[in-house]
Amino acid sequence: SAAEKGGHDYFMLKEIAEQPKAVADTLLGRIDGAGSLRLDEVRIPVGVLRQVDKVVIVACGTAFHAGLIAKYAIEHWTRIPCEVELASEFRYRDPILDQQTLVIAVSQSGETMDTLMALRHAREQGSKVLAICNTNGSTIPRESDAVLYTHAGPEVAVASTKAFLTQLVACYLVALYLGQVRGTKFADEIRDVVRDLSRMPGAVERVLGTMGPVRELARSLAGKGTVLFLGRHVGYPVALEGALKLKELAYMHAEGFAAGELKHGPIALIEEDLPVVVVVPSPRGRSVLHDKIVSNIQEIRARGARTIVIAEEGDEAVVPYADHLVRVPVTPTLLQPLVATVPLQVFACELATARGNEVDQPRNLAKSVTVE
Ligand code: G6P
């Protein structure tokens, strides 16, 4: 009913709108007044966490994209090597696991069969498993050594939105916590990031307040067959997530690419008026990447692409090459996915609506895939 949807036409729109609160709730009580992480829920002894020499993240679908982003954060803040693997691929290839491997299973529902099977396999090899999950008491947290719950609240729409943002928050918290318990040379940076994380609910709210032009753009593209997404660094998994959302909801051909791979194939796809969404990293801090992606935008535009550029407020370098410019608030590089994903969710939802698709229940998909 309309009441259940909180006055929105679809659960997906309601859940997109709930993201600032979901992010805030997932941070709540987990950072103390001094800016230290308080993750007592992670009931894996600190002594064990100090011995971890490899992190392996397993997940499916949107949760897998959260895992891809987590890798950048975990390796940067902890210097522990981190692999991310689709749960469905993981246990069929005889992966290397032992007692010093920390496996993180990310799942909104806590019932995805492939993820469950992957964590069972990891525990059989003696690895510790930490679940990042949105559903209290579901199978994946019950079978794990510990769980960090995302507090997104129930997610009804099949396409994941607020659960994804809270998975990112949980992944950042785990990465920072591992850094904290192990003592890292990034202590100052960690303190700054903790402070920046607490500002993210407001940043997501700001993005939500500027989505009118994105919806209008989406409607104007309803007749298109293909949309490409490019990103780099943490913007690459954001591009993959933007493409997945469009497939799920709009039933369009959509692909995400690492912008650096453009010359190795994807650029051959560029033709007149092809919409290409580009997720641009902050010009501060990672300026080399920023320059490279600006040249990518120039290259595709010179070949006729219609460029839809997602860039930080104040990033003027992209302006001449953006046919459509979507601004997101300034954030540290690693946190940018929390704001950059939001326009892509709105874009896919609006395109689906314009194409007459069922937004909350896309054809052929299930919210929770409990078979292999
Ligand atoms: C299904 C859903 C996706 C979700 C994936 C993983 O395919 O439609 O939205 O990302 O499962 O689900 P999980 O519950 O494990 O996060």
Q: Would you call 186 exposed, middle or buried from its count of C-beta atoms within 10 A (0-12, 13-18, 19+)?
A: middle
Residue nearest to atom 4 of ligand 1 (CA): 61
The span from the CA of 111 to the CA of 366, in Å, is 12
Residue nearest to atom 15 of ligand 1 (CA): 107
Q: Best of 11, 60, 349 to mutate for ligand 1, by most ligand atoms within 8 A of CB?
A: 60
**Helix/strand/coil percent split, the chain, to 5:** 50, 15, 35
State ipTM.
0.96
pLDDT at residue 288, rounded to an integer: 84
Q: Best of 368, 370, 371 to mutate for ligand 1, by most ligand atoms within 8 A of CB?
A: 368
pLDDT at residue 284, rounded to an integer: 81
Task: Find out whether the beta carbon of 302 lies less than 6 Å from any atom of ligand 1.
Answer: no
Exposed e or buried b for every residue in 53-67, given b needs 16+ CB within 10 A?
ebbbbbbbbbbbbbb
Task: Find out whether the beta carbon of 107 lies less than 6 Å from any atom of ligand 1.
Answer: yes
The span from the CA of 19 to the CA of 339, in Å, is 10
> From the CA of 83, how far away is ligand 1's center (Å)?
20
Task: Find out whether the beta carbon of 62 lies less than 6 Å from any atom of ligand 1.
Answer: yes
Ligand 1 atom nearest to CA at 365: 8
Residue 319 has pLDDT above 90, yes or no: yes
pLDDT at residue 183, rounded to an integer: 84
98 CB-near residues (< 8 Å, 6+ apart): 125, 126, 127
pLDDT digits (tens, 9 = 90+) for 112-128: 999 999 999 999 999 99
Residue 55 has pLDDT above 70, yes or no: yes
pLDDT at residue 3, rounded to an integer: 83
Residue nearest to atom 3 of ligand 1 (CA): 61
Half-sphere exposure of 241 (CA within 13 A, CB side): 33
Residue 185 has pLDDT above 80, yes or no: no
Least confident of 9-18, 207-216, 217-226, 285-294: 285-294
pLDDT digits (tens, 9 = 90+) for 140-183: 999 999 999 999 999 999 999 999 999 999 999 999 999 999 88
Task: Find out whether the beta carbon of 133 lies less than 6 Å from any atom of ligand 1.
Answer: no
Residue 332 has pLDDT above 70, yes or no: yes
Residue 229 has phi, psi (to 5 degrees) of: -130, 130
Helix (H, G, I), strand (E, B) or coil at 301: helix
35 CB-near residues (< 8 Å, 6+ apart): 191, 194, 195
The span from the CA of 213 to the CA of 368, in Å, is 32
In the structure, what pLDDT confidence band is assigned to residue 276 with cuts at 50, 70 and 90? very high
pLDDT at residue 285, rounded to an integer: 67
Residue nearest to atom 7 of ligand 1 (CA): 61
Closest C-alpha among 101, 134, 135 to residue 118: 101
pLDDT at residue 286, rounded to an integer: 63
The overall longest dimension of the chain from CA atoms, in Å, is: 58
pLDDT digits (tens, 9 = 90+) for 245-257: 999 999 999 999 9
Residue nearest to atom 5 of ligand 1 (CA): 61
> From the CA of 61, how far away is ligand 1's center (Å)?
5
Positions marked catalytic = 367
pLDDT at residue 203, rounded to an integer: 98
> From the CA of 60, how far away is ligand 1's center (Å)?
6
Instruction: Specify which residues 257 forms β-bridges with.
Output: 230
pLDDT digits (tens, 9 = 90+) for 193-232: 999 999 999 999 999 999 999 999 999 999 999 999 999 9
- What's the average model confidence in pLDDT over 338-367? 95
In the structure, what pLDDT confidence band is assigned to residue 330 with cuts at 50, 70 and 90? very high
pLDDT digits (tens, 9 = 90+) for 71-129: 999 999 999 999 999 999 998 999 999 999 999 999 999 999 999 999 999 999 999 99
Share of the chain above pLDDT 70, in %: 99
What is the helix (H) or strand (E) element at residue 309, kind and residue range? strand 306-312
Q: Best of 58, 112, 149 to mutate for ligand 1, by most ligand atoms within 8 A of CB?
A: 112
